[in-house]
Amino acid sequence: MQPLLERIEDAARPTAEDGLPAQYIPALARVDPKKFALAVVTKEGAEYAAGDADEPFSIQSISKLFTLALAMEWIGDSLWDRVKREPSGMRFNSIIQLETENGVPRNPFINAGAIVVTDALLHTRPSIAVGFRNQMRLLSGDESVRYDSEVHRSEIATGDMNRAAAFLLKAKGNLTEDPIEATNVYFQFCSLAMSARQLARAALFLVAPQPGDAALAKGTHALRLRAIMRTCGLYDQSGEFAFRVGLPAKSGVGGGIVAVNPAKGYAACAWSPPLDKFGNSIAATEALALLAAETGV
């Protein structure tokens, strides 16, 4: 596995030249576009890594995978009255369907859906920002995981599309908390900084039950979470990613993509900041495509 990851790094790295880091969040626009990481963690506990695999980056929308998992665990089926499980075919921050579909977001991985999930969590657990960070510490086995306050401030300063979604949700009766508060907490989840290795460890509950105290360790909802990852994990590129890579995955505009391969018993995370026009990392997609092809799906 280790030589394979190094070969993949060599092959995938150059593809990043075709894109740029997220430009609409100033703190992300400043990240070194040459960074690259690939980490693989097996259900037996072996870890393999190439590149900058221990350097924390902004997890952004990868947080949506874990907040959804917590909401499924802590809130249960009533969540599905407020958000559907259907690909949107639209950009991750689009609010067009929210208007025409009565304020019920298509899925929990587009921004409007993740804001509903945040609102539901915030309603039952007012200290969810600390709670979420603690769960990610437990899942990754690393107490050093923390929020990046510069990224958080940067998103608050530029997050008007997300506030628009939150106010529309409120107007349609699908938000219980204050829209500004809900979006600020959503931005905070997105601003968590984690390394590729930490994220691969954290995603292992989607492959096999894990020891430890994390709320998600048992992996009760893994099958259904993987279904939503397959169909909605890369927004309006989910079909293309399924065709090319074939693994359930979740991306973020920080340039990270988490993917899991239950058949082969591993979780992986690739990171490279430059994005394609859909907001997904070009070199991380390439790295995971090579990894899936070489290990089998």
Binding site for ligand GLN (CB under 6 A): 60-61, 92-93, 111, 155, 162, 190, 252-253, 279
Question: How many Cβ atoms sit within 10 Å of the Cβ of residue 232?
Answer: 24
Q: How far is the CB of 218 from ligand GLN (least distance, A)?
A: 27
Q: How far is the CB of 60 from ligand GLN (least distance, A)?
A: 3
| Residue 193 vs 253, nearer CB to ligand GLN | 253
Q: Is 266 a catalytic residue?
A: no
| Residue 39 vs 232, nearer CB to ligand GLN | 232
Sheet holding 57-58, edge to edge: 57-58, 192-194, 146-147
What gap in Å lies between CA 186 and CA 113, rounded to an integer? 11
Of the candidates 64, 117, 185, 260, the residue annotated as catalytic is 64
Q: Is 235 a catalytic residue?
A: yes
Of the candidates 48, 147, 235, 266, the residue annotated as catalytic is 235
Q: Is 170 a catalytic residue?
A: no
Of the candidates 40, 207, 245, 253, the residue annotated as catalytic is 253
DSSP secondary structure string for all residues of 59-95: -TTHHHHHHHHHHHHHT-GGGGGT---S---S-TT--
Residues 33, 280 contacting (CB under 8 angstroms): no
| Residue 76 vs 277, nearer CB to ligand GLN | 277
What gap in Å lies between CA 40 and CA 59, rounded to an integer? 17
Q: How far is the CB of 92 from ligand GLN (least distance, A)?
A: 4
- State the helix-helix crossing angle for 111-124 and 160-171, rounded to 10 degrees: 70
Q: Which of 218, 269, 289, 244 is CA-nearest to residue 60?
A: 269
Of the candidates 40, 186, 195, 207, the residue annotated as catalytic is 186
As a whole number of angstroms, the longest Cα–Cα distance in the chain is 54
| Residue 5 vs 151, nearer CB to ligand GLN | 151
Report the residue closest to ligand GLN, judged by CB.
Answer: 61
Q: Is 64 a catalytic residue?
A: yes
Of the candidates 35, 40, 61, 250, the residue annotated as catalytic is 61
Q: How far is the CB of 194 from ligand GLN (least distance, A)?
A: 14
Work out whether strand 266-271 and strand 256-261 pair parallel, antiparallel, or are unpaired: antiparallel
| Residue 61 vs 135, nearer CB to ligand GLN | 61
Helix (H, G, I), strand (E, B) or coil at 151: helix
Q: How far is the CB of 253 from ligand GLN (least distance, A)?
A: 4
- By annotation, the residues acting in catalysis are 61, 64, 186, 235, 253
